[in-house]
Amino acid sequence: MTKNILTDLAFENFHKCMGISDWKESDEVILVSSANKEQIESDESYRSAGKCNYLGKRICIFCEQVKKNNYITLHKSMLEKIIKTMESFTDAEQMKGEEND
């Protein structure tokens, strides 16, 4: 499950969101079930701003791995750690693939 969520984060072009200048360390990201996408998008606090979706002040990312009616909230610092771990994992897989060639 962890690897799949990390993959989803990568495919959401999260690095683009990280470049938002007014995003503070205390800000959060919310990972929401894709099954609730329609419900979330109809919420009055939801908005889409080009590269990112927001639910209130939080960046909102839809994930298939999050169960319906559930969500995960992460602080920016934790998300940065996850992305670094994901990059290391991807690099290790690529190196392993090159060794097997």
What is this structure's pTM?
A: 0.60
CA 78 from centroid of its chain's CA atoms: 11
Q: What are 29's two structure tokens? A: 């990201």
Q: For 48-90, what is each residue's pLDDT tens digit?
A: 887 788 888 888 888 888 889 998 888 777 777 777 777 776 6
Question: Residue 17 pLDDT > 70, yes or no?
Answer: no
